[in-house]
Structures are given as structure tokens and as C-alpha cells.
Amino acid sequence: MVCATATAADWPQFRGPQAAGVSAEAVATEWNGESGKNVMWKTAIPGLGLSSPVVSGNLIFLTSAVPESGEPALKVGLYGDIKPVEGEGKQEFVLFAVDRKSGKIAWRQMAISGLPKIKRHPKSSHANPTPATDGKHVVAFFGSEGLYCYDTKGKLLWKKDLGVLDSGFFRVPEAQWGFASSPIIHDGKVIIQADVQKDSFVAAFDVKTGKELWKTARQEAPTFSTPAVAPYGEPGSKKKQVVLNGWKHIGGYDLETGKELWRLVGGGDIPVPTPVMGSGLIFITNAHGSERPIYAIRPTAQGDITGSKEHMAWVQERAGNYMQTPLVADGLAYFCFDNGVLTVYDAANGERYYQKRLGGGTTGFSGSPVAAAGKLYITSEDGVTHVIAMGREYKEIGKNELGETAMATPAIADGVLYIRGRQHLFAIKEK
């Protein structure tokens, strides 16, 4: 049995450290999943899971929902069907550990099995949340099926039943879509965001014991965003805040107590992107319904900042993302729409440098971009990764075929790009 050890090259949560999605290490710019070009290995992962891989030491962790029988359907593309998938049978909710060198499954642990308590969207799965690790613990969240913490050898340390977490369409409550918010681990705390049809909350648990440290109610409609931790206050302050996307309540909470620090009302009514930090600002975007803003918020925000100019560095009212978490690096902010339209802004003041469509406009883009050594990697649902030079001018370096559907966000560690496809986990490295 293989055990993980934390290293500087770890990619411990959704989009890596602080959800930034950025690695200093160069990775391959050319590959082909079918021919095997620059593919170290590919490993079949049973079931249907749209969680992203995370990396700690010599292990990769990811989750899946494995049906008792049959093959689960997944409908990708640009469409607006809100009906959930009907008639699915029992599932095994599984955490996998994959050896980084060989690609072999080191261990698998079934957290729970049974009929899912909530149906899923046809473009979703019963294993959407990305696991999180600190090198000693691995936390897997299956929404209504519970929160589970393992050690890196696969031993269950604790679990939490958080009740039924229905984050379907708030305007049509019977349109159940499954749960998607991923856990994060910071300073020994497991932080979860549960914006659902009833009794939404944000909470922190002790990663060693599962003890609830604090829980704060949120008057919020269902959302699908993952929490983030950011500095709070003036430069040099040691205080930290948990930042959450939302519709009725975008906000910051004290990391130690859960006390609300600031709030912002408005925006898209089904928030998905995770808040990200860069250039001394917090970037929050959403885009569903009548609004699609980008907010560049100062970390000194306090109180109700709705409509505030003091606490905003800049705002774009009609340019936000629906699905993808943006990427901020080297003074630039990259935002990609569901249809592949990429827009690049000056992160400090919101000046737009360029806007360019990736692909032909008929393919969806759900996985979020990652960056490595000055190159941006954006993967379509069709499994085509666009490699783009980062900077104020558009320059595409290449396009690479995975050979299968890709909905998850890649991970990067030690010069290897890990991409989860519909059937396989791929390890891509320049040979």
C-alpha cells in the first residue's frame, strides 16, 4: 500500500494551492490521448465522477460514483435542459488513490453505498466535489451522502452526515442537480460551503477529529462554488478570511470564528466559480440570469459593500463567467465563457486587452483553466486542450486531443499534467 507525503509540488485541492491554478513548472505543450504521444500512462477510473484530481506526494486522489449496474449517461455541450436524470440505481461512492509513477490504483475506499438521496443534472455526476488533502488527511465530500476523512493509506478517520443537501435550481425545486462545492483544508480546518434549497451554511471542522469548530447560517439560494481562503485587512495582516461566492450573499467570514466580515448582494443567480486572489485583490464572478458581473474586491472590505466604490478596485457588469473559475497571474486576469470566449484584463484596473474565441463556438468549456511556466491550458468538454501564451496579446501555441470527454479541471505536479477524462485519468509529460 502506498502512502503520500506532502511536498512543495503538491496540488492539494481544486485548482491547487489557494485555487490559483498556477504552477511555475513547465509541462508538455503537445500530446495525444489516443496515439499516446507524451502520455506517461492512462488509468481507467470506474463509474462517473467529475471531481478533479488532487496530488500529494506520490499519490493522486479523485472520487467517483460507481453504479451497481449499467453505464451512467453524461450529456455535454451547450444546452439548457434542467431536468434531472431519472431512474438511476444504487451507487458506490468511492475515493481512489492512484500511484503517480505507475498509474496503478494504489487503493480504493467505498465511503457509502445506496440510492443517491438527490438526483443529478445530465451534465453532472454523483461525485462532483474535488477532494482535498494536507499530506496527512484526505477529505472526500459526496454532498447528501456525507463528508469523509481518510488518512493517506485509506483508513477512515471520521465522517459526518450533514443531511440532505439539495442544490438544485431554486426556481424549480424539483430540478435536482446534485452537489458540487468542494471542501478545502486550511490551518487544520476543513471548510465546506453548503448553499442549498433550505438552511444554507458555511462551516469549519477540525481535520484531525471532525469536531465542528464553527457553523454560520447563510440566507442563500443553491450555489455550486468552492470556498477560498484569503488575507483580510491591510498588507501584512495575519488575519484570514473565508471568501464565498453567492447571489444573495457574496461574502467574507473570519477563518477562526466564522463571523461575517463583509457581504455583497447581487450578480448571477446560480454562482459556480470559486473566488481567486491576485494583484492584491479578490476576484469573484458569476453569470446566470440577468446579471454577469466581475468584482475586483479589496481585502479590507467590511460591512455591506453592495454598490460600494471604496471597497471595489473595479467592476465589469456584463463580462462574468458562469462555469469556469478565472485565473489571475502576473498582473493579468483570464476569464473564459462556457462557449470558449476568452477575455484578458489588467488585474489591477480592469482594462481589457483582448477577447478571442477558442474552438468553433459549438463546444462547451466547463473545466477551469490552469497555467504552467507562462502558458495557459484550457480544456473543452470535447477533450481538446488549447495551449495559449500568457500575456496581453493572444498567441495560441497548440491544440491537443485527449480522445474523450473532459469536464474536470487538470492538476499539475512535478512537471506532469494530470487530466481526468470521462473514462480515464491521464498523466501527460514531455518525453
SS (H, E, C) 291-327: EECEEEECCCCCEECCCCCCCEEEEECECCCCCCCCE
Q: What is the pLDDT of residues 48-79, one digit of tens each?
A: 999 999 999 999 999 999 999 999 999 999 99
The beta strand positions in 142-211, using DSSP E, are 147-151, 156-160, 184-186, 189-194, 200-206
- First-residue to last-residue Cα distance in the chain: 28
Residue 62 CB neighbour total at 10 angstroms:
25
DSSP 11: B
List the one residue out of 104, 29, 22, 93 whose CA is nearest residue 60. Answer: 104
| Radius of gyration of the chain, Cα coordinates, nearest whole angstrom | 20
The DSSP output letter for 104 is -
- Which triple of cell numbers denotes residue 55? 496530488
Rounded mean pLDDT of 375-380?
A: 98
Q: For residue 411, what are the CA distances in angstroms to 55, 164, 192, 232, 241?
A: 7, 30, 21, 27, 25
pLDDT digits (tens, 9 = 90+) for 218-240: 999 999 999 999 999 999 999 99
**pLDDT tens, residue by residue, 301-340:** 999 999 999 999 999 999 999 999 999 999 999 999 999 9
pLDDT band at 9 (very low <50, low <70, confident <90, very high): confident
Could you give the strand order of the β-sheet that contains 200-206, starting from the edge strand earlier in sequence?
A: 184-186, 189-194, 200-206, 212-218
Cell numbers for 56: 500529494
8 Å CB contact between 297 and 305: yes
Does the pLDDT of residue 151 top 70, yes or no?
Answer: yes
CA-to-CA distance for 57 and 400, rounded, in angstroms?
A: 27
Phi, psi of 74 (to 5 degrees): -140, 120
Is 19 strand, coil or helix?
helix
Residue pLDDT, tens place only, 257-309? 999 999 999 999 999 999 999 999 999 999 999 999 999 999 999 999 999 99
pTM (whole model) above 0.95? yes
Q: Is 140:111 a contact under the CB 8 Å cutoff?
A: yes
Mean pLDDT, the chain, integer: 96
Q: Please report, for residues 92, 255, 330, the alpha-carbon distance to residue 392 in angstroms, rounded to integers and kept in the order given.
A: 46, 35, 11
pLDDT at 4 over 80: no
Residue at 73: amino acid letter: A
Residues facing residue 32 across a β-bridge: 401
Architecture field, domain 17-428: 7 Propeller (2.130)
Contacts of residue 334, defined as CB under 8 A and 6 or more positions apart, other chains included, come to 326, 327, 328, 342, 343, 344, 369, 376, 390
Q: Rounded to whole angstroms, how far apart are CA atoms 45 and 418? A: 13
**What pLDDT shows up at residue 374?**
97
Grid cell of 396 as nine digits: 495560441
Q: Which residues, listed in sequence order, are joined to residue 332 by a DSSP beta bridge? A: 329, 346
Spatial distance between the Cα atoms of 220 and 291, rounded to a whole number of angstroms:
17
Alpha-carbon distance of 129 to 226, in angstroms, equals 9
Query: Residue 6 above 90 pLDDT?
Result: no
